[in-house]
Chain A
Amino acid sequence: SAVISQKPSRDICQRGTSLTIQCQVDSQVTMMFWYRQQPGQSLTLIATANQGSEATYESGFVIDKFPISRPNLTFSTLTVSNMSPEDSSIYLCSVYTDTQYFGPGTRLTVL
């Protein structure tokens, strides 16, 4: 199993600013995943983050908008840059141990 924490749990931000979301896992994991869930929608993969290498982004997501850091095997950050109201979503990190586990999510509102 894995216990995942995310900070902040929620935030309200102004258009044009940036927010960095932290994801901490209680065990060392090779791969971490970042997902976005827009209001009333399903989860969409943003990127896969391996420790020691650059993140791999899915179609429609770019590093300039969603830079990711993965400094060690238990921690990752996702930054949402130059935010607009369309970025209002829940952002979730996920890891694989014996199965796929998800953090509690960061609920972001952009005004």
Chain B
Amino acid sequence: AQKVTQAQTEISVVEKEDVTLDCVYETRDTTYYLFWYKQPPSGELVFLIRRNSFDEQNEISGRYSWNFQKSTSSFNFTITASQVVDSAVYFCALSPSGNSGYALNFGKGTSLLVTP
């Protein structure tokens, strides 16, 4: 069975602060994918990143960075210099890996509010 835990339900920061969203996962699969999605108030899910379990390199994309630590089963997401437009619910998700695709197991999400 797979499980994703996002312990932070809500986070509130002031603009320009850095913020880290935590994600801890459980799986018995030897290979798997980890994802982060953003859901703004409009409701659509915006894909941010997919990480293969084989690739433990951290990734940076603009103000976004991800820290994957297999040893602690964590895949944390940091937003640097947060902006009001970053306000959204962020979901971490997990799936088995494979060419045909699998459904995702989602965490409960972290609601981020960035105030001016």
User: Which residues of chain A have a CB within 8 Å of any CB of chain B?
Assistant: 30-31, 33, 41-45, 48, 90, 92, 94-96, 99-105, 107
Residues B44 and A104 in contact, CB atoms below 8 Å apart: yes
| Residues in A neighbouring B101, C-beta threshold 8 A | 30-31, 95-96, 100
Interface of B is mostly: loop
| Residues in A neighbouring B91, C-beta threshold 8 A | 42-43
Can you pick out 26 interface pairs between chain A and chain B where the beta carbons lie within 8 Å of each other? Answer: A30-B100, A30-B101, A31-B101, A43-B45, A43-B104, A43-B106, A44-B106, A45-B103, A48-B103, A90-B43, A92-B45, A96-B100, A96-B101, A99-B35, A100-B35, A100-B47, A100-B93, A100-B95, A101-B47, A102-B45, A102-B47, A103-B44, A104-B43, A105-B44, A105-B45, A107-B43
How far is B101's CA from A48's CA once the two chains are assembled, in angstroms? Answer: 11
Pick from B35, B47, B103, B108: contact of A42, CB below 8 A.
B108
| Residues in B neighbouring A96, C-beta threshold 8 A | 100-102
User: Which residues of chain B have a CB within 8 Å of any CB of chain A?
Assistant: 33, 35, 37, 43-45, 47, 50, 91, 93, 95, 100-104, 106-109
Interface of A is mostly: strand
Pick from B44, B47, B108: contact of A99, CB below 8 A.
B47
How far is B39's CA from A107's CA once the two chains are assembled, in angstroms? Answer: 14
How far is B103's CA from A44's CA once the two chains are assembled, in angstroms? Answer: 10
